[in-house]
Structure 1
Amino acid sequence: MEMILKERQRLNEEQNFWKEEVVYQIYPKSFYDSNGDGIGDIKGITRKLDYLEELGVTMLWICPIFTSPMVDNGYDIADYKGIQAEFGTMEDLTELIEAAKARGIKLILDLVVNHSSDEHAWFKAALADSGSSYRDYYIFKSGEAGNPPNNWRSIFGGSVWEPVPNEDNMYYFHTFDKKQPDLNWENPALRQEIYEMINWWLEKGIAGFRIDSITFVKKDQDYGNAEVDGSDGLGSVKHKTRNRPGIEKFLAELNRETFQKYECVSVGEAPGVPYDQYDQYIGENGYFNMIFDFHYADIDVENGSEWFRRTNWQPQDLKKLLFKSQEAVQASGWGANFLENHDQPRSLSKYITDERYQNEIGAKALGTLFFFLRGTPFIYQGQEIGMKNFQRKTIEDFNDVSSIDNYHRSLLEGFSEEEALNFVNQRSRDNNRTPFQWDSSTNAGFSDSNKSWLKLTGDQVEVNADDQIGCPNSVFSYYKQMIQLRNHSSYRDTLIYGQFAPLNTTDAVIGYERSGDETLQVFVNLSNQEQKIESSGELLLNNYSELKEQDGARVLQAYQAVVIRKGGNHD
């Protein structure tokens, strides 16, 4: 009894609202078009709040809706306090915040402060006058003997240095696209501008931010060459600008000047952070409430920005990475668990290797795998109905700047056009940016018109929300069951705050348990062969209609997933 009381006391001390949320990520351009122009918008999100409430999510993460030339679909911001006209107005956003709040749904926005658009007023002023104070808001360097200052390759390919118009031998720096110049975090005045903007948004009533590419804000100040790692003669910018020494000063100040002042949530996109530094990021005095871990998400490629470097991963590899991630996060703080996002392909096409199970069975299995891990679950739009990757026949069908770069990088590395297109089809960020499939109509119910800013995946007759709502065996209904079990059942404290521990299983099965007042076990078979598991107890969730038994043991069918209450009644 004393141990139980101590555990409950610990849980009470650790409870925070953001740990109990179920977050739904919306890519606004592709969610729902309310005015028939072929582009999703803020009013479209408001119109679909009933759907989101029915699903049971409690928080929305909205990808960038700020004023932008949309070179990188909004991650190139020209005005941090303005709303991009194609998405609507500030009044539309206020209406969305209030309408969501009335349904018990909070809203967080994307915070993109590693870089701005080259159309931001600060950068325009920096270009117009080399003596302007805004020149120091960005990174400008002189070239070397007519060449760029160093050999760093940008994330989207080519040099990170772009010549400054009408200035001889002068360049500006961009980690990503040339129209996304990096902000100079070494400048205290720039940092204060950023903090003022963040606090301005928090005062408007949003619940917090997902912070984009935040581990890139500190650059090695020697600006020396990086080791060459490609046929283009360049070295990845990551070697000199990702999670570099000294970043702790910036991130601690960011937290102190903004997030700590509010009852809000901060979710860091923090690639490149080793596990032995997680305490700095998400510990008791960490920079953020939680971060995304990409160690397992990029299992299919050697490098998340070079898709032609494929890996031949197996379920046991995913299991090892997933367990290592969970144990590292648990030792330090809190994690943000995900299968998909706007930078990843569809999980059903990525993790289910047998195409026969890239259907509701596979979608439910993957949902079970990630949803009950320790941390806050993030659902990406369309994941809850089992949307899949597309197959494009030509590079001209792609919108994503990174996809186009990877196609040309693949050709440069010696791959054929067919091979290069295959790499992009498998990994393109456009896979998750295709319009949401609301129904089986020609335009998938995305818009009242026949317009669409990006081609549809094309399988809306087989996969759409309208067919799944109210259907007890649908992927949508299964996600509702998972949310109910995690957030509203007698097991909620265990599934939210309980400890994570891996279970010994066959290579093809990922098994783990969550322990608190109860002990719940999760088993997911990631193969097309039957697999035995050692578990007895009450069956709480199952993506099949039955759980087979053989010789006194329970048997998982192909891609079967179950949640079992250990020690409960054996069904």
Structure 2
Amino acid sequence: MNVLYIRFMALAIFMLGAFSGYAQNKPGATDTIDRKWWKEAVVYQVYPRSFKDNNGDGIGDLKGIISKLDYIKSLGVDVVWLNPIYSSPNDDNGYDVSDYRNIMKDFGTMDDFDALLKGMHSRGIKLVMDLVVNHSSDEHEWFKQSRSSRTSPYREYYHWWNAEKGKPAYRYSLFDVNHDAWRYDSLTNAYYLHYFSRKQPDLNWENPKLRNEVYGIMKFWADKGIDGFRLDAFQFAAKDTTFPAFPKGYEKNFTQYYGVQGNLHGYLQEMNREVLSKYNVMSVAEGAGNTFEDGHNLVDADRNELNMAYAFEGVDIAKPEGYSITHLKQVFTKWDSAFAAKGWLSIFLANHDQARLVSRFGNDSPEFRALSSKMLTTFLMTMRGTPYYYNGDELGMTNAGFTTIEDYRDVQTLNEYQRQKNIGADLPAYLKRIAFESRDNGRTPFQWNNTANAGFTTGTPWIKVNPNYKNINAAAQEKDANSILNYFRRVVKLRKDNLVLVYGKYTLLDAQNPDTYAYTRELNGRKLLVLLNFTNKAASTQTGIDLNNANVLIGNYQKPSKNGTLLPYEAVVYEVK
């Protein structure tokens, strides 16, 4: 009798587990897909300078992040991508590294970093760090030695062009006040290359000694226990070092001429052999090249290079004059289609190099800010690919509203303003444009509460706090069950509970509708329908799917529509038969 009872209970437990799995993701869901933790993760980007200041100097720091780890954990995210914290003179907010094995003094110490990593791991949060090795700071010891003499052993760590050969062929610089990427240096009568700021000389990846230095840096951090690397600007790392002339106006297609050149894939395969394959780390490239073939070569598993890449075409759609929803659908659909059977991409609409999500792609007016923020979050969390979400967007933080150039801190914005001034351009028009698109819009301090400086610092913040912090802050939204913050938590949980939203087939519906975005996700017999209204007016969508028996999984209105007509900025996810 006892044996029969035990067998019965074992069968019951098995059936209960099987039914639970069926209810969540259908039988066989995990048998037919290539599951990876980094595919199923939700990545939350933390901009350390603006997240939380612990010591009152007005600059966010590592101890400040540590103090907010429980908040990050409460979001339901799996991974934190941390912008650079290495030693740096801070010309480009840490993307000009002077020592890759030390911490910027503004942010704290290596002990603080170790405590941060331990705190994250104890909460089940992984840490991905920026690897900034297309360029270094001109204050890095490598560059100091490199510019000291033409015979220095570090000379070939960078790209030099001896002046007696004449000035090299023009190269466009993104950040230089004159957009000239060749900087003359009188010490050795030569020019050095910098695709970004003149204080960010490009590293020479053709030099195997330089590559080994980088792999040593990666091992240093991987041995500490970090969980991945985001390769900043790495699609530009390999160059044609004969530096041929490019056609006039090429800078309008900058990536076409600068991206995925030379032996980039050889370097990445070497990096994979030397470092990435030896650690269970996630790797992501900033940029997916110029073509789908470029993207596949970067991320397809059999290439042994990287796990995923960002495609910038989608995030670049938003313009001050608005954008076409039809175009946005076309872009995301073609990228999904190109990687449906092989490879993996990230999904994002904002980061530290962009203005605020709701101000660019939604509607930041008081009437529609919350609704459009929730709609955009629904989009990001229901697409195939690993979602990346920028800190503060879960509150619906908006653009800064800066009106004078003195409000800005970003080297790109400041140098371009000076260039516009030098050429006699329309400066008010430039200020209007950067009020929409400057990177500093996304870098204002995180709005924790309605106390002075939004609870970010007890000192003077390094950049102004958005004055709307008294109404838009985390403390207020914690208390509101219907807040943007709590909606973010619910939609993250929805994604985590439903593998169909991670791996499921994506199908666009009602493609030519100029107002709505409708698509299905399907996996192992389950079918979810996502309806999104990207406008501030009611809009109808024709999906051909009967919603009478559909089950609403989440929506940003209390009573989601079931007749195909969506209210302004409505978002709803259904499970359909």
Deviates more, 1:267-276 or 1:313-322: 267-276
Q: CA deviation at 1:150?
A: 1.7
- Give the 5 Å matches for 1:208-287: 208-229=228-249, 238=255, 240-286=257-303, 287=305
Whether contact under 8 Å (1:399, 1:430) holds in the other structure is yes
The residue aligned with 2:463 is 454
Deviates more, 1:510-519 or 1:110-119: 510-519
The one of 181, 204, 208 equivalent to 1:160 is: 181
Query: Which residue type is aligned with residue 507 of structure 1?
Result: P
Secondary structure (helix, strand or coil) at the match of 2:374 reads helix
Q: CA deviation at 1:356?
A: 5.6
Deviates more, 1:474-483 or 1:498-507: 498-507
TM-score by length of 1: 0.91
Query: Which residue type is aligned with residue 365 of structure 1?
Result: M
Determine if the alignment matches structure 1 residue 500 to structure 2 residue 513: no
Percent identity between matched residues is 38
Whether contact under 8 Å (2:135, 2:201) holds in the other structure is yes
Whether contact under 8 Å (2:296, 2:343) holds in the other structure is yes
Whether contact under 8 Å (2:62, 2:107) holds in the other structure is yes
CA distance in 1 between counterparts of 2:218 and 2:191 reads 29
The residue aligned with 1:77 is 97
Q: CA deviation at 1:397?
A: 1.4
Determine if the alignment matches structure 1 residue 177 to structure 2 residue 192: no
Query: Which residue type is aligned with residue 45 of structure 1?
Result: I
Whether contact under 8 Å (2:63, 2:116) holds in the other structure is yes
Whether contact under 8 Å (1:185, 1:217) holds in the other structure is yes
Q: CA deviation at 1:413?
A: 7.2
CA distance in 2 between counterparts of 1:56 and 1:239 reads 38
CA distance in 2 between counterparts of 1:293 and 1:362 reads 23
Stretches of structure 2 lacking an aligned partner (at least 5 in a row): 1-25
Query: Which residue type is aligned with residue 226 of structure 1?
Result: F
Determine if the alignment matches structure 1 residue 510 to structure 2 residue 517: yes
Post-superposition CA distance 1:278-328 (Å, at most 9, x none): 221111224211111111110135xxxxxxxx7752111111111112222
Secondary structure (helix, strand or coil) at the match of 2:231 reads strand
Determine if the alignment matches structure 1 residue 58 to structure 2 residue 82: no
Determine if the alignment matches structure 1 residue 290 to structure 2 residue 308: yes
Deviates more, 1:39-48 or 1:157-166: 157-166
Whether contact under 8 Å (2:149, 2:188) holds in the other structure is no
Determine if the alignment matches structure 1 residue 42 to structure 2 residue 50: no
The residue aligned with 2:127 is 107
- Cα pair distance change 1:427/1:358, threshold 3 Å: farther
Determine if the alignment matches structure 1 residue 428 to structure 2 residue 438: yes
The residue aligned with 1:304 is none
CA distance in 2 between counterparts of 1:439 and 1:328 reads 43
TM-score by length of 2: 0.90
The residue aligned with 2:555 is 542
Secondary structure (helix, strand or coil) at the match of 2:490 reads helix
CA distance in 2 between counterparts of 1:356 and 1:235 reads 36
Q: CA deviation at 1:273?
A: 3.2
Whether contact under 8 Å (2:363, 2:372) holds in the other structure is no
The residue aligned with 2:347 is 337
The residue aligned with 1:370 is 380
Query: Which residue type is aligned with residue 317 of structure 2?
Result: I
The residue aligned with 2:536 is 528
CA distance in 1 between counterparts of 2:421 and 2:576 reads 53
- Cα pair distance change 1:329/1:414, threshold 3 Å: farther
Determine if the alignment matches structure 1 residue 299 to structure 2 residue 317: yes
- Structure with bigger gyration radius: 2
The one of 409, 412, 425 equivalent to 1:402 is: 412
Secondary structure (helix, strand or coil) at the match of 1:484 reads helix
Secondary structure (helix, strand or coil) at the match of 1:152 reads coil
- Cα pair distance change 1:296/1:191, threshold 3 Å: same
Secondary structure (helix, strand or coil) at the match of 2:428 reads helix
CA distance in 1 between counterparts of 2:254 and 2:43 reads 31
CA distance in 2 between counterparts of 1:432 and 1:262 reads 32
CA distance in 2 between counterparts of 1:523 and 1:236 reads 34
Secondary structure (helix, strand or coil) at the match of 1:153 reads coil
Secondary structure (helix, strand or coil) at the match of 1:539 reads strand
Deviates more, 1:423-432 or 1:249-258: 249-258
Q: Matched residue pairs, number?
A: 542
The residue aligned with 2:16 is none
Post-superposition CA distance 1:357-404 (Å, at most 9, x none): 541101001101111111111111001000010121211211101112
The one of 9, 12, 20 equivalent to 2:40 is: 20
Whether contact under 8 Å (2:52, 2:65) holds in the other structure is yes
Post-superposition CA distance 1:218-254 (Å, at most 9, x none): 1122212222329xxx887645432114322112212
Q: CA deviation at 1:144?
A: 6.5
Q: CA deviation at 1:6?
A: 6.5
Deviates more, 1:53-62 or 1:279-288: 279-288
The residue aligned with 1:439 is 449
CA distance in 1 between counterparts of 2:321 and 2:249 reads 18
Q: CA deviation at 1:331?
A: 3.4
The residue aligned with 1:306 is none
Deviates more, 1:245-254 or 1:107-116: 245-254
Determine if the alignment matches structure 1 residue 322 to structure 2 residue 340: no
The residue aligned with 1:475 is 484
CA distance in 2 between counterparts of 1:353 and 1:99 reads 36
Stretches of structure 1 lacking an aligned partner (at least 5 in a row): 302-309
Q: CA deviation at 1:41?
A: 0.3
The residue aligned with 1:140 is 160
The one of 413, 425, 429 equivalent to 1:419 is: 429
